[in-house]
């Protein structure tokens, strides 16, 4: 995006104020919380249960920043594995190298679903560290393109298309 190699990115991209000097964002289209997935047998229910524990998340995310802040503020003494991607972070949880994996809750549910027969061993828990929104990321300085993107999102929401997509992929 910064090198003008990509015009539009629509995925699990958080619309964060600190990114706005570098990129533009579409209208927000999904509100989510940052929570944790644990093995059900772990006994972990919220962040206070993590004192001195190893926690996995992905490098460079708002989740990582929030975990580091929480650890300092609440004196949790967390050891944070900043994995290169969600697969590596979830693998740390599966292999007991980390107790929870902290991430956007829809992404956590997606990782659990990929576990198939063993998905029942995991649960998403804990209060939300923050509530954020997803939006499409696009190049700055192109108001016509931004208007087109925003109009598509608005029309999908008004027509019910976005609800149908949500139901297909998340329900």
The CATH number of the domain holding residue 36 is: 3.40.190.10
Same domain, 122 and 41: yes
Whether the predicted pLDDT of 73 surpasses 90: yes
Name the residue range of residue 80's domain.
30-131
**66: buried, middle or exposed (CB in 10 Å: 19+, 13-18, 0-12)?**
middle
Only one residue has tokens 């027969």, namely: 117
Same domain, 19 and 70: no
68 in Cβ contact with 51 (< 8 Å): no
Global model pTM greater than 0.85: no
Question: Using one digit for the tens of pLDDT, what is the confidence trace for 81-90?
Answer: 999 999 999 9
Contacts of 4 (CB under 8 A, 6+ apart): 139
Structural domains of the chain, count: 2
22 within domain boundaries: yes
Same domain, 103 and 124: yes
Same domain, 48 and 118: yes
Query: How far is Cα 67 from Cα 34, in angstroms, rounded to an integer?
Result: 10
Question: Using one digit for the tens of pLDDT, what is the confidence trace for 26-58?
Answer: 999 989 999 999 999 999 999 999 999 999 999
Question: Using one digit for the tens of pLDDT, what is the confidence trace for 91-116?
Answer: 999 999 999 999 999 999 989 999 99
Tell me what pLDDT residue 167 has: 83
E-assigned strand segments in 22-162: 24-25, 30-39, 54-58, 79-83, 100-104, 122-125, 131-134, 137-138
83 in Cβ contact with 56 (< 8 Å): yes
């Amino acid at each position: 995006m910064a090198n003008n190699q990509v015009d539009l990115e629509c995925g699990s991209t958080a619309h964060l104020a600190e990114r706005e000097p570098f990129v533009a964002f579409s209208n927000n289209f999904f509100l989510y919380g940052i929570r944790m997935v644990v093995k059900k047998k772990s006994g972990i229910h919220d962040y206070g249960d993590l004192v001195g524990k190893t926690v996995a998340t992905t490098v460079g995310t708002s989740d990582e920043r929030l975990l580091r802040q929480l650890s300092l503020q609440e004196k949790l003494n967390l050891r944070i594995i900043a994995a290169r991607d969600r697969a590596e972070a979830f693998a740390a949880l599966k292999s007991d190298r980390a107790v929870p994996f902290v991430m956007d809750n829809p992404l956590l549910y997606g990782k659990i679903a990929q576990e198939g027969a063993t998905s029942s061993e995991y649960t998403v828990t804990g209060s939300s560290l923050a509530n954020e929104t997803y939006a499409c990321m696009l190049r700055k300085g192109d108001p016509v393109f931004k208007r087109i993107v925003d109009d598509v999102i608005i029309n999908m929401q008004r027509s019910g298309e976005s609800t149908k997509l949500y139901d297909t992929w998340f329900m």
